[in-house]
Amino acid sequence: MEFKSVNKIFEASFKKNWVRPAISNYQGETLCFRDVARRMEKLHIMFEECGLEKGHKVAICSRNQANWAVAFLATMTYGAVPVPLLHEFKSSNIHHLVNHSEAKILFVDDVIWEGLSESEMPDLQAIIQVNTFKLLYSRDEAIVEAREHLNELFGKKYPRSFHPECVSYYEDSPEELAMINYTSGTTGKGKGVMLCQNNFLSDLSDVIPYIDFSNKTVGVLPPHHTYGSSVMFIGHAIIGSEIYLSSGLRYVQKEMKEQKPGHLVMVPLYLETFYRKIMAGIKEKGKEKTVKRMMKLCNVLHLGRGIR
């Protein structure tokens, strides 16, 4: 599979999957691709009013929720550079990373915002609450005016209706900076890893052709995780598969029973955690020996099927 522009692949997928569900979460909210595209377009209008240019940085610091994905995808398709930050970082670290990344806009959820101060991030043009896209801070009154009349501005731009043919995203090139991902900083300050579009293209071209993507998955990986943002958000948006955003590892087993995903995207640590929990439950019921015998039998049958 050959990829040329991540954003143009987004564009084609949104048009193709317009009425299909794209993102849902534990709060009961489900967004179709058209809903996501509509919110993204409104953020593009806000970006223009903020004076955001192609290549400018946009920091996102929030817990896993539908609007995190909207902010992330809106930033990429505008031609700006998303900077996902771990929501569990201390306030001082968030201040530092927003400044270090030279971000012009910060998306932040309401809980995290309580510990932050705009005065500690002097280069920001605007701070937007992820939960509702409410404007929390602006350096320019014109931005405040634009947010208050955003629906009106959207209506003027699309006077008839907002339909698939309205979707048109910035065409990126493989060498362009796509994202800055900061490490957790266990040995000091977090280090910013600069990923270009070609890094994403490589990940997607290596993964998508070889995975049998179903219509729905449960998103377990944290959104700031590189694999979570690339294969989880970008990959599923391209495929047209719905992501149910998990509310956390402690709830994921219950969520999988309720949501019945056809596939999961994980890293080894998560699989090991699930395995330990499952085996602990089996041991508690006194069926450990029986299950292990069945596992051995399954391995033998699988091997036999492969050598026939």
pLDDT in tens, 231-262: 778 888 888 889 998 887 788 888 888 888 88
In sequence order, what are the residues at sequence separation of 6 or more whose Cβ sits closer than 8 angstroms to the Cβ of residue 39? 31, 67, 70, 74, 133
Residue 201 in contact with residue 174, Cβ under 8 Å?
yes
pLDDT in tens, 189-220: 667 889 888 888 887 777 777 666 778 888 88
Sign of the alpha-carbon dihedral angle for 114, 117, 118, 122: negative
Q: What is the mean pLDDT of the chain?
A: 87
Please indicate whether residue 2 or residue 257 has the higher confidence score (pLDDT). Answer: 257
**What is this structure's pTM?**
0.87
Contacts 24+ apart (CB under 8 A), 283-288: none
pLDDT at 185 over 70: no
Taking the C-alpha atoms of residue 36 and residue 39, their distance in angstroms, rounded to an integer, is: 5
Confidence of residue 96 (pLDDT cuts 50, 70, 90): very high
Give which of 25, 249, 38, 242 is closest to 131, Cα–Cα. 25
Give which of 215, 213, 208, 222 is closest to 252, Cα–Cα. 222
Contacts 24+ apart (CB under 8 A), 225-228: 225/267, 226/179, 226/181, 226/193, 226/195, 227/203, 227/265, 227/267, 228/265
Give which of 202, 210, 204 is closest to 236, Cα–Cα. 204
pLDDT in tens, 274-300: 788 888 888 888 888 888 888 888 777
Q: What is the mean pLDDT of residues 33-38?
A: 97
Taking the C-alpha atoms of residue 13 and residue 31, their distance in angstroms, rounded to an integer, is: 15
Taking the C-alpha atoms of residue 96 and residue 188, their distance in angstroms, rounded to an integer, is: 12
Give which of 53, 96, 99 is closest to 75, Cα–Cα. 53
